[in-house]
Amino acid sequence: MLEPNLSTFDTRTRNELRSHIEWGPMDHAQPGRQSLEQAVSLVAATTRAVTPRRVETAAALHRVAAADIEAPAAIPPFHQALDDGWAIKADDTLGASPYAPGISSTVPRRVSIGETLPDFADAVLPLPKASDQSGAFEIWGAIARGEGMRAAGNDLRRGEIIATAGTRLDERHIALLKIAEISDALVRIPRVMIVGAGVVGDWLADLAKQEGADCAMIDTAARADPLEMADIILVVDPSEWRDRAQRQERTLFSCIAMRPGEMTGCAVRESPGAPHSSETATIFVGARLESALAAWLLLIRPCLRRLAGATSRDGTASLPSTRKIVSAPGVSELTLLRRLDGEAKTGARWEPLATGDIPYSAIANADAWLLVDAQSEGFAAGEIVTGQFL
């Protein structure tokens, strides 16, 4: 593989890039850069969903459900009052008014909000619409059946699915599980080992935790074998690991035809002791933020979602671009976008912030991203493009 000109980089970056470049001869893989599509396919082939385990409901936040979670009983279990009032039969209120009060066939019962209704009641009459002060219960207004009450099973039927398998459990799911008195959940939790400290490593750890993973971090000089503790390994600064990995791992690719993140690499090692996978992937990430972002969006996050069995998708929006997006053919390029709401005439639009060469200011201001395919030269100004929200 031809070594690119590194003279424009500082010493640390040159060493880092060389460590990626020199990775290639480890298994005498095919020369040149791997296409992004091939890289994604190679990494996907090494990952499959991890073994599920049960955790307490409170600990299931952001985890991915390994099976459908069903309501064990109807909620509410009985008819409940939605407000203070009179539990009554709706038919007894037909035609009632202050000028022609109605008389109930059964004695209504006063109830408070959330209280279970008596068996005869199918509505809750507001307090001002009736009175029992004259010695006889008088109804001064009509009400429809079901009004003022929550029917049994109206919130959740017994057996109704709260979260399907593959759903990432968020705060609303956890609240519903607690209401349904579900004490634990079966989830899949990928284990991520991040080798190399620093801002990029911390950032990747935070992103992985949002995907429901457990994360641990070790220094590049550590002697511990991360393979025994992880389902996927992320190496932020691979230079000190190169010699060790050469003896133990098989290279999938050492650089990718994508910008940023050209020097993203991946190797795998057999892990016969793991019950859920025969290989563990190690993904090598550049030390700059934009390279890590590209690696995260295009390789690491999809890999984590396969390990977790996640089926949820990110939100998208298809809007016209405010200006032309230019991309070099033969290279997949990441474009960061900012949403402009605009005026009534123009409507919302995507403003391209950067393509391929992404400064930190673009990362700070971006709302979404899109990938310009290697076969594309970009998009014309005004063309509809689909951005995936960050």
Sequence-distant (≥ 6) Cβ neighbours of residue 346 within 8 angstroms: none
Tokens of residue 324, six digits: 């032309």
75: DSSP letter: B
Report DSSP letters for 82-130, one per residue: SSSEEEE-GGGGTT--SSS-EE-SS--EEE-TTPBPPTT-SEEEEGGGE
Angle (deg, nearest 10), helices 36-44 and 301-308: 30
Q: Which helix (H) or strand (E) holds 275?
A: none
Cβ(239)–Cβ(16) under 8 Å?
A: yes
pLDDT of residue 31: 45
Could you tell me which of 141, 79, 140, 86 has the C-alpha nearest to residue 112?
A: 86
Q: Cα(59)–Cα(13) distance, rounded to whole angstroms?
A: 40
Q: Cα(139)–Cα(320) distance, rounded to whole angstroms?
A: 60
Q: Is the pTM of this model over 0.85?
A: no
Cβ count within 10 A of residue 230: 25
pLDDT of residue 253: 86
Spans of the chain, pLDDT less than 70: 1-32, 134-135, 197, 220-228, 237-248, 271-278, 343-345
212: DSSP letter: T
pLDDT of residue 132: 77
Encode 265-289: b = buried (16+ Cβ within 10 Å), e = exposed. Answer: bbbbbebeebeebebbbbbbbbbbb
pLDDT of residue 273: 52
Q: Which domains are present in the chain?
A: 11-50+189-308 (3.40.980.10), 54-75+162-187 (3.90.105), 80-150 (2.170.190.11), 316-389 (2.40.340)
How far, in Å, are 37, 55, 215, 288, 388 from residue 357 at the CA level? Answer: 20, 43, 29, 12, 19
pLDDT of residue 36: 92
pLDDT of residue 248: 66
Q: Cα(33)–Cα(197) distance, rounded to whole angstroms?
A: 27
